[in-house]
Each structure stands twice: as structure tokens, then as C-alpha cells.
Amino acid sequence: MQTFLHTSALQSQLKTWRSQGLRIGFVPTMGNLHEGHYALIKKAQATCHEVVVSIFVNPLQFGANEDFAGYPRTLKADLDGLAQMGVGAVFAPDEAEIYPRPVTDMSFVEVPGLSDMLCGASRPGHFRGVTTIVNKLFNIVQPDMAIFGLKDFQQFTIIKRMVSDLAMSVELVGMETIREADGLAMSSRNGYLGAAERQQAPLLYQTLQDLRDKIRQGEHDYFELELLGQEELENAGFRPDYVAIRRADNLDVPFADSPGLVILAAAWLGKTRLIDNIQL
Ligand code: AMP
């Protein structure tokens, strides 16, 4: 496995691979890798000759009062895990490599509308940071395929829109959410949870499952169900940010008979903001 800190060196390796006709997969991450990340990599390896994993904690997608400084950085352990998986190349640039000028002076990519709702409403600028870095990483790696977790359902929806709007030639794959045994979606931020919070945390997924069951049983007053979900979360000790039932294809508010729904939630447990979703 080769670890690249600089774009130019990575690109020369990619050029060699491409000249050999190899299909290249790409898995962007912020590091602190867990089984969720490894599942994405395995899936990419199943259809690609070589997989590039990037590790970059992207300052542009963190708000001023968010956890950028404290975000877990575990590069050594991450590289060990990736080497064991047989990953061919890791791209681990520093901030200056990606943002050589003040970010306020640099070009950005924004998907309007989709980026302003749900998580975007409480994290202004977050998705602009995501689409800008993903676009830049796509330009650097020029992968045949890229894979993202559906745990970040809104993020995946926005990236699909960006790729379609801007005619980017990359195949996007979404990977189902990998969970702990008790149902909690794996996340680098789970490490922020105290012991008692960790016990409460699976109730987020439980709440989504309860709402899904109610819809399956024929309840279609989605607004009522969203309120019920928020109440359930509050009773379980969360501070809900939102519980939303949306169309899975475009995140629009559904009609009673709309097919293909997704239930999304974000909620605080102490200082930790957890997100999860479930598709019907
Ligand atoms: P992150 O390092 O949190 O930015 O995540 C990198 C990629 O891994 C994103 O595409 C995430 O959606 C995906 N991911 C994170 N957690 C999980 C999980 N529990 N299951 C599946 N994919 C995940």
C-alpha cells in the first residue's frame, strides 16, 4: 500500500494504473475508520481492480462551533487497517494541499435546495463544504466509481444531484448502513458518547423502526408521525433536531400515497449529534 500526501504523486500512480486498463474505485473518508468504512472499501474492491481511500478531515464542512478541532484523528491505526485490507493507495493530504489559499478565496460547488433542508438547516454551509471537497477529490482521483454510505442519506442524495447536474463521469454506489449489535449506526462520533449515553443511543434507530412499522401498518399522517418520533426521542433523553419523513428520491415532503419513503432523524445526546435513517 502506498500513502500519498501530495496530489501529483497520487496522480502519477493513477496514471500508471489507468494505462494498464485498471478500473479504479474511490472511498472518501475523514478517517477514524470503523467497520462501516471497511464495508465500503470491500464493496469497492469487489468491482474495482484498485481502490483509493482518502483520509481528510475537511474543515470546510464544519461550522464555527462544531467539532473540527476535536474530531478523532487516528491516522496510524487507519493506515494499518487499510494495509490489512489490501488497499492500493491512500490519499492523506494536509490542509494546505487541498486549500492552498484562504477558503473564502477559493471556488466552491453548491447544490441549492437539497443542501438547505434537514441537516443543512441546522448546519449552514455544511453541504457546500461536502460537495466542494468531493468535487475536488473526484477531480484529483478521477475514479471510475465512488462509494458512499447511506447512513449519510442526505449527503448521498446531494452528491448524486451534483454528479448529475455537472455531468461528472463517475458511477456512484450507495452502501447500506453498518450497525453495532444493538442497532446503533457506526460512526466516528459515537466515541464522543459517555457510557450512559451509549446505552441510550440505540433508541434513535428504534424510534425510526417504530415509525416505519406504523407506516407499514397503514398510518399516513406523516406530520403526526414526525411529531410522535420527536416525542419518543425526547422521552428517551435526546434533544431532537428533526424527524422527517421524505421521498427517498428527492427528499421532497411526500403525499399520503407517495412511494419510496425515507425516515430521517438527527438528535443530540449530550454533546453528540447523531443521525440515522431508514428506507421503506
Ligand atoms: P466519514 O468518515 O464519516 O466522512 O464517512 C466516510 C464514508 O463512510 C461516508 O460515505 C459515510 O456515509 C460512510 N459511513 C460512515 N459510517 C457508516 C456506516 N455505519 N455504514 C456505512 N457507511 C458509513
Same domain, 162 and 242: no
Residue located nearest, by CA, to atom 19 of ligand 1: 186
Residue 130 Cα to ligand 1 midpoint, Å, equals 13
Same domain, 161 and 80: yes
Contacts 24+ apart (CB under 8 A), 222-226: 222/253, 222/254, 222/256
Residue 51 belongs to what H/E stretch?
strand 50-55
Confidence class of residue 91 from pLDDT cuts 50, 70 and 90? very high
Same domain, 27 and 78: yes
Confidence class of residue 267 from pLDDT cuts 50, 70 and 90? very high
Do 214 and 226 meet the contact criterion of CB atoms below 8 Å apart?
Answer: no
The CATH number covering residue 69 comes to 3.40.50.620
Q: What pLDDT was estimated at residue 280?
A: 95
Domain end call among 175, 207, 235: 175
Neighbours of 83 (CB within 10 A): 12
Same domain, 203 and 105: no
pLDDT in tens, 220-260: 999 999 999 999 999 999 999 999 999 999 999 999 889 89
Q: Which domain holds residue 255?
A: 188-279
Same domain, 60 and 141: yes
Residue 27 Cα to ligand 1 midpoint, Å, equals 9
Q: What's the whole-model pTM score?
A: 0.98
Domain assignment present for residue 60? The answer is yes
Residue located nearest, by CA, to atom 13 of ligand 1: 149
Q: Based on the number of CB atoms within 10 Å of its own CB, is 172 exposed (0-12), middle (13-18) or buried (19 or more)?
A: middle
Domain assignment present for residue 132? The answer is yes
Number of domains observed in the structure of the chain: 2
> Which residue, 172, 154, 111, is CA-closest to 252?
154
Domain assignment present for residue 33? The answer is yes
Same domain, 143 and 197: no
Domain assignment present for residue 181? The answer is no
Q: What pLDDT was estimated at residue 172?
A: 98
pLDDT in tens, 102-150: 999 999 999 999 999 999 999 999 999 999 999 999 999 999 999 999 9
Average pLDDT over residues 177-202: 98
Average pLDDT over residues 2-25: 98
Same domain, 68 and 96: yes
DSSP 67: S
Confidence class of residue 62 from pLDDT cuts 50, 70 and 90? very high
Q: How high does pLDDT run on average in the chain?
A: 98
Domain assignment present for residue 55? The answer is yes
Q: What pLDDT was estimated at residue 213?
A: 98
Same domain, 129 and 217: no
Average pLDDT over residues 10-30: 98
Domain end call among 141, 175, 209: 175
Q: Which atom of ligand 1 is nearest to the CA of 37?
A: 8
Domain assignment present for residue 147? The answer is yes
Q: What pLDDT was estimated at residue 166?
A: 98
CB of 175 sitting under 6 A from ligand 1:
yes
Same domain, 94 and 214: no
Same domain, 156 and 220: no
The CATH number covering residue 275 comes to 3.30.1300.10
Q: Which residues are catalytic?
A: 37
Q: How far apart are CA 277 and CA 265, in angstroms?
A: 6
Percent of the chain whose predicted confidence (pLDDT) is above 70: 100
Domain assignment present for residue 183? The answer is no
Q: What pLDDT was estimated at residue 227?
A: 98
Same domain, 50 and 134: yes
Same domain, 164 and 245: no
Pairing mode of beta strands 272-279, 261-269: antiparallel
Domain end call among 148, 175, 202: 175
Q: What pLDDT was estimated at residue 256?
A: 87
CB of 172 sitting under 6 A from ligand 1:
no
Domain assignment present for residue 180? The answer is no
CB of 148 sitting under 6 A from ligand 1:
yes
pLDDT at 43 over 90: yes
Residue 151 Cα to ligand 1 midpoint, Å, equals 7
Residue 127 belongs to what H/E stretch?
helix 126-141
Pocket test for ligand 1, best of 30, 32, 40, 131 (most atoms within 8 A of CB): 40
